[in-house]
Amino acid sequence: MRVDSWALTDVGRARKHNEDGWLIDDQLGLYAVADGMGGHAAGEVASAYGLRCVQEQLVKKKPLLDDFAKNPTPEKRAQVSRELELAVNVASSDIYHMAQRDKKRHGMGTTLSTLLLVGNKAFMAHVGDSRIYLARAGQIHQLSEDHSYLWEQIKKGAITVEEAKRSPFSNVITRAVGITETVQVDTLVFDILPGDTYLACSDGMHGYIESEAELAQILSSEDGEKIPKRLVGLANARGGKDNITCVVLRVPGDAGDPSAVDVIEKLDTLRRIPLFRHLNYKELVKVLNQTQQRTFEDGEVVIEEQSDGDEFYIILSGEVEVSKGGRPLTVLGPSVHFGEMALVDRSPRSATVRARNKTRLMSLSRKAFYHLVRTEPVLSSKLLWSFVQVLSHRLRATNEALKDARSEASALPPFAELDNLREQASRLGTSEVVEAASADLAGEDL
């Protein structure tokens, strides 16, 4: 998919040297920002080398990238993501050993925020406190997470965002490329949609953005070429205490394109499901990546009562009928979900679900669910907490229903229902009805 790209870096108003770096490789589809650190110009070396190393490693994988663009299977998607992560770790290893050989560069490192665009997918690899933002359909989403002391404190609830802005520890980062031989890389794969605008920037830039609304207004500018100049000018006007770097990408088109609407609606639908209510945008994207879309024709069975099942379903369009023992129970429409207990429970399905007309469903398998739980600790905590809330709500509802049923039963004299049945049956001369009803009631009493 074609994108327009622009970049700008500035030393700022306080620093003497610019240790930031940026990369635009339209042919490879690689875009990145790096913010170096270390004395004796080591920061400049680390950021420049980190960018070049990742680029060289991915050039070697061009056949894989081309293959994925033509045939984007989940397996190849995972392979591309691993290769990007490996490229960042090769850079970390090389920078680390470079610093070990030269005492003047000991301790040098760099942040690295990278976007690799392949086909209609974007692959993010991120280390440090530079950032990647996505402007989509009038909203701003921060796709990267700062690897910094302050961000960790905010996540723990130890300090607020406002307190973090006043903290003297704003420059303390917890992860960087080259400080250690290997580094943990945050990765994300997401759809490239018409109308998307991406911003990769160093902390000397994002530290001066006062609100998401302000950033959304800047990134929505029709003239994309002016965006980097405007962002750098803003950072300098508000202090310019650090080097300032930004890379801006824009995908032609608009959010009203059918391909964009489809993805945006899926993410909005996921957000409304109780199981995913606590997830942020990036986490919702990770869940979406694990789902599959399936279409069922009118009358086709989605779930068979008493069958084994391992999928959770969300209705995107159309309707399904739920029945038990051949008796219709209810009809479900768009944005409604069913079958979530299959993600954690291997019990047979309790009802039959059948499409009433042509119906599109989004499904999440037990295997995919457990992959998220194993690989995403924060996301898994939110999912499991949501499961507890859902089960707690169902338990309360069941208790209320039982309480109401007991109240109704206690209002009747003993065996009143059985006596009524006997009287009606004797008038109709159907003793078999009496015996059958007696057996049923006796079973219920037991």
pLDDT digits (tens, 9 = 90+) for 233-257: 999 999 999 999 999 999 999 888 9
pLDDT digits (tens, 9 = 90+) for 347-373: 899 999 999 999 999 999 999 999 998
pLDDT surpasses 60 at 23: yes
Give the global pTM.
Answer: 0.85
pLDDT surpasses 80 at 411: no
pLDDT surpasses 80 at 41: no
Task: Please give the CATH topology (third level) of the domain spanning 260-388.
Answer: Jelly Rolls (2.60.120)
Residue 135 CA: distances (Å) to CA of 34, 213, 217, 235, 440: 21, 11, 10, 19, 62
What is the average pLDDT value for the chain, to the nearest integer? Answer: 89
The span from the CA of 374 to the CA of 370, in Å, is 6
Strand partners, 31: 24, 115
pLDDT digits (tens, 9 = 90+) for 164-187: 777 777 778 999 999 999 999 999
pLDDT surpasses 70 at 221: yes
Domain 4-253 coded CATH 3.60.40.10: yes
422 pLDDT band (50/70/90 cuts)? low
pLDDT surpasses 60 at 430: no
Q: Phi and psi at residue 132, in whole multiples of 5°?
A: -125, 125
Q: In CATH terms, are 4-253 and 260-388 the same topology?
A: no
pLDDT digits (tens, 9 = 90+) for 246-303: 999 999 998 889 999 999 999 999 999 988 988 999 999 999 999 999 999 999 999 9
Cβ 363 vs Cβ 294: under 8 Å: yes
How much is the pLDDT for 437? 42
N-term to C-term CA, the chain? 67
The three state secondary structure string of the chain is CCCEEEEEEECCCCCCCCCEEEEEECCCCEEEEEEEECCCCHHHHHHHHHHHHHHHHHHCCHHHHHHHHHCCCHHHHHHHHHHHHHHHHHHHHHHHHHHHHCHHHCCCEECEEEEEEECCEEEEEEECCCEEEEEECCEEEECCCCCEHHHHHHHHCCCCHHHHHCCCCCCCECCCECCECCCCCEEEEEECCCCCEEEEECHHHHCCCCCHHHHHHHHCCCCHHHHHHHHHHHHHHCCCCCCEEEEEEECCCCCCCHHHHHHHHHHHHHHHCHHHCCCCHHHHHHHHHCCEEEEECCCCEEECCCCCCCEEEEEEECCEEEEECCEEEEEECCCCEECHHHHCCCCCCCCEEEECCCEEEEEEEHHHHHHHHHHCHHHHHHHHHHHHHHHHHHHHHHHHHHHHHHHHHHCCCCCHHHHHHHHHHHHHCCHHHHHHHHHHHHHHHC
Q: Smallest Cα–Cα separation from 112: which of 58, 177, 42? A: 177
The span from the CA of 394 to the CA of 387, in Å, is 11
Domain boundary assignment for the chain = 4-253, 260-388, 412-446
pLDDT: which is higher, 126 or 433: 126
The span from the CA of 291 to the CA of 408, in Å, is 44
Instruction: Report the half-sphere exposure of 403 (CA within 13 A, side-chain side).
Output: 6
In degrees to the nearest 10, what's the CA dihedral of 220, 223, 229, 232? 0
412 pLDDT band (50/70/90 cuts)? low
Share of the chain above pLDDT 70, in %: 91
